[in-house]
């Protein structure tokens, strides 16, 4: 099962690089968004309603994706007589693909950064696809800051979180002794659950909504580890990136205290970590006027610095994908030895 799960991660990453995202009308997360909009308009704005939405919606979405993997594998077994493992791998990869987003967000970020130097009004308009802030009065430098911040935060939300969910699900299934098909369905289901939690927070987790309290708190808990893992990925990639004057950056241990201080500035317990890390890597200030300023003693990003930030986020995503594949394959194959039973299917 471990090799099948690692293969699914690789296939999902390849699909993201090749296609970006499915058309909206065929995108399960877009369907989820429409369901959340309906719930938002239909249920009372109470804390109890929010708890119900936070408990039921991600669970239902995760079970739906897991069910697709199981049903597809069963259909292959009935119609062909074999190939259920391959079918489950492809369907699990498809589930992870629709639950994660990397290439498209990076492309939008590149466009915003380029437009900030040539057409700031259009850049402000394009920024709305990345950040929910009011961009009408942002300077070109602040537009670039918002784009870089969003790229780093979206690394955690859009890629690392569902990827970690998939890996944890695969490893847990292997530890429980589940066969390949069932294990891949669990992995797909956990990735879907994580994606739904994040979607709920982005749509309902606002301070002025009573029902948004539970989705927001659940997202805070779920994103705690992915946000910090994303920070480590960004710093690791940045460590290998020369500064403009050719000198290598300091060690992760040396940079971490300043990142930790800056990460605590935004109100969110998680979003500050990837933002503070990309700011440290780029040696620039990241500021949301009237809300926070990270690394305030440094200049706001130039076009060149912001473009470098997009490259760092892209490479950090690739590093995360590679790391998850290796961990799933390595630890997954070691689980039978650790358990001493040797009964877990490979």
Rg (CA), the chain: 21
Residue with tokens 């098909």: 181
Is residue 96 in some structural domain? yes
pTM listed for this prediction: 0.91
Tell whether the model's pLDDT for residue 259 goes beyond 90: yes
Is residue 259 in some structural domain? yes
Torsion angle of alpha carbons 215, 289, 300, 264, nearest 10°? -50
Is residue 346 in some structural domain? no
Which distant-in-sequence residues (6+ apart) come within 8 Å of 289 by Cβ? 138, 142
Stretch 94-100: mean pLDDT: 97
Query: pLDDT grade, residue 197 (50/70/90)?
Result: very high
Is residue 345 in some structural domain? no
Residue 208 has what pLDDT? 80
Q: What distance in Å separates the CA atoms of residue 203 and residue 287, rounded to the nearest whole number?
A: 23
Residue 343 has what pLDDT? 43
Residue 129 has what pLDDT? 86
Residue 212 has what pLDDT? 93
Residue with tokens 């079918």: 87
Q: Do 193 and 59 meet the contact criterion of CB atoms below 8 Å apart?
A: yes
Task: Output the six-digit token pair for 262.
Answer: 């800056």
Is residue 302 in some structural domain? yes
Is residue 169 in some structural domain? yes
Structural domain range at position 43: 2-339
Q: Do 200 and 215 meet the contact criterion of CB atoms below 8 Å apart?
A: yes
Stretch 224-247: mean pLDDT: 80
Number of domains present in the structure of the chain: 1
Is residue 179 in some structural domain? yes
Residue 194: name the closest of 1, 65, 72 by CA.
65
Q: What distance in Å separates the CA atoms of residue 302 and residue 186, rounded to the nearest whole number?
A: 44
Q: Do 316 and 270 meet the contact criterion of CB atoms below 8 Å apart?
A: no
Residue 344 has what pLDDT? 41
pLDDT tens for residues 293-339? Answer: 999 999 999 999 999 999 999 999 999 999 999 999 988 666 654 44
pLDDT tens for residues 26-83? Answer: 999 999 999 999 999 999 999 999 999 999 999 999 999 999 999 999 999 898 877 7
Residue 271 has what pLDDT? 94
Higher-pLDDT residue of 69 and 20 is 69
Q: Do 303 and 310 meet the contact criterion of CB atoms below 8 Å apart?
A: no
pLDDT tens for residues 263-282? Answer: 999 989 999 999 999 999 99
Is residue 184 in some structural domain? yes
């Amino acid at each position: 099962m471990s090799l099948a799960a690692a293969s699914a991660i690789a296939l999902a990453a390849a699909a993201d690089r090749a296609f970006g995202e499915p058309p909206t009308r065929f995108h399960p997360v877009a369907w989820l968004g429409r369901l959340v909009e309906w719930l938002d308009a239909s249920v009372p704005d109470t804390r109890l309603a929010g708890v119900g939405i936070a408990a039921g919606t991600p669970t239902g979405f995760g079970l739906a994706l897991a069910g697709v993997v199981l049903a597809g594998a069963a259909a292959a077994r009935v119609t062909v007589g074999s190939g259920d493992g391959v079918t489950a791998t492809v369907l699990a990869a498809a589930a992870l693909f629709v639950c994660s987003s990397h290439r498209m967000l990076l492309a939008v970020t590149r466009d915003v950064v380029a437009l900030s130097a040539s057409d700031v009004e259009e850049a402000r308009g394009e920024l709305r696809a990345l950040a929910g802030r009011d961009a009408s009065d942002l300077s070109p430098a602040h537009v670039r800051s918002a784009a870089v911040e969003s790229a780093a935060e979206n690394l955690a939300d859009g890629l690392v979180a569902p990827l970690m969910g998939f890996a944890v699900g695969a490893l847990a299934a292997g530890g429980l002794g589940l066969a390949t098909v069932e294990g891949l369905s669990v992995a797909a289901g956990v990735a879907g659950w994580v994606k739904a939690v994040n979607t709920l927070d982005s749509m309902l987790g606002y301070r002025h909504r009573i029902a948004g309290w539970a989705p927001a708190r659940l997202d805070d808990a779920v994103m705690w580890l992915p946000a910090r893992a994303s920070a480590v990925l960004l710093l690791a990639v940045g460590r290998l990136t020369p500064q403009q004057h050719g000198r290598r950056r300091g060690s992760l241990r040396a940079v971490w205290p300043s990142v930790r201080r800056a990460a605590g500035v935004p109100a969110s317990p998680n979003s500050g970590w990837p933002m503070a890390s990309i700011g440290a890597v780029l040696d620039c200030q990241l500021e949301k006027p009237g809300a926070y300023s990270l690394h305030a003693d440094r200049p706001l990003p130039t076009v060149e610095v912001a473009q470098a930030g997009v490259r760092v986020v892209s490479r950090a995503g690739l590093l995360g994908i590679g790391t998850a594949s290796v961990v799933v394959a390595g630890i997954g194959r070691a689980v039978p030895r650790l358990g001493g039973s040797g009964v877990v299917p490979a």
